[in-house]
Homo-oligomer: A and B are copies of this chain.
Amino acid sequence: MQSFWHRLRVGAFAALALAIAGAAAALAADDPLPSWNDGAAKASILAFVGKVTTAGSPDFVPAGERIATFDNDGTLWSEQPVYFQIAFAVDRLKVLAAVDPAIAGNETVKAVLSGDRAKLAAVGEKGLLEIVAMTHAGMSVADFEGIVRAWLATARHPRFDRPYNELVYQPMLELLAYLRANGFKTFIVSGGGIDFMRPWAPAAYGTPPEQIVGSSGRTKWQLVGDRPSIMKLPEVDFIDDGPGKPVGIERFIGRRPVFAAGNSDGDLEMLQWTTLDTGPRFALIVHHTDAVREWAYDRDSPVGRLDKALDEAAKRGWLVVDMKNDWKVIYPFEK
């Protein structure tokens, strides 16, 4: 028979063990970036947010000035085998061609729907603008929104056989939420179409429509009887890519970000605009290094080429996130 003291000691150890386990669970629950492996990438993000939110710190940034901008394609969701908006346009062309012989007979449309690489290569810029006009204009913004929603509800990504908006990056969702919890105002600043993103990005990323900046076509006010609408015209108005990103940030936001995330050379100027100023600044590049769980590509990729910005990251000390090694999971459905 065990002594009273022995039993008490066992009880105390058991209680201590329970307390330790509880604390560990609580700490894990409090980890704002649970899908990021512990390491330099995660640590540098936590350190930056810590210092700009610590009142009295020389690096303190008032809450209203904590502007964070995120590229979308390849930074918040996947962009392979083609930008998802191109998949949308091709699917839309199929629908239109099925009901309109003029569209079905159009040479550019035939080239695109053939899937033939040589024919596609011959489409050129004029052909591309023709496709954009056919698929992204001639209806109201509200009607286009309905078309995008319907596409997302039915289309499936060829590799993952899931709706395209499920291919968002879980670690980046956590980063967006973590920044917002720390007083940052998060914006999407994408080369993708603003009207293509607004139907789904608010729910996916927790950013309201007015915090989404993107490329756009010209639009026109129309009032028919008592029914007003904003009509999408077949003319490109603004390309929010490369040097267009800081231009779009200045126009829509009107102040410089202190935090920005991108993944390609199209984000280079946004990252420069964010970091080449006084005060604490943070730039992050998502490097696609995971051929198994996602894709691996950088300097030679026609989609999301990352070349100049990768060199610049080394020179400027921007964080290059190694998807394969820094992220525990890629997509929410892996959890």
* Residue ranges of A at the interface with B (Cβ–Cβ < 8 Å): 64, 67, 141, 185, 187, 194, 198, 208-212, 216, 219-221, 223, 226-228, 230, 243-244, 246-247, 250-255, 269, 272-273, 276
Contact = CB atoms under 8 A, between A and B. Distances in A.
Given A209-B255, A210-B255, A254-B209, A247 B221 contact: yes
15 contacts: A198-B254, A209-B255, A210-B252, A210-B253, A212-B254, A219-B247, A220-B243, A220-B247, A221-B273, A223-B269, A223-B276, A227-B276, A228-B269, A228-B276, A230-B246
A23 to B, nearest CB: 36
Nearest to A65: B208
A269 B221 contact: yes
A208 B64 contact: yes
A251 B194 contact: yes
Instruction: Give the interface SS of chain A, mostly helix, strand, loop or mixed.
Output: mixed
Contacts of A269: 221, 223, 228
A228 B250 contact: no
A153 B221 CA distance: 38
A223 B272 contact: yes
Which 3 residue pairs spanning A and B have beta carbons closest together? A209-B254, A221-B243, A230-B250
A81 to B, nearest CB: 29
A211 B210 CA distance: 9
A250 B194 CA distance: 10
Contacts of A230: 246-247, 250
Nearest to A230: B250
Contact of A246 (B67, B187, B221): B221
Contacts of A219: 247, 250-251
Contacts of A64: 208
A276 B226 contact: yes
Contacts of A212: 254
Contacts of A187: 210
Q: Which of A185, A187, A250 has the most CB of B within 10 A?
A: A250
A281 to B, nearest CB: 12
Contacts of A250: 141, 219, 230
Contacts of A276: 223, 226-228
A253 B209 contact: yes
A276 B244 CA distance: 34
B220 A273 contact: no
Given A243-B221, A254-B210, A272 B194 contact: no
A230 to B, nearest CB: 5
Nearest to A218: B247
Given A67-B210, A223-B272, A226-B276, 7 more contacts: A64-B208, A141-B250, A185-B210, A209-B253, A219-B247, A221-B269, A230-B247
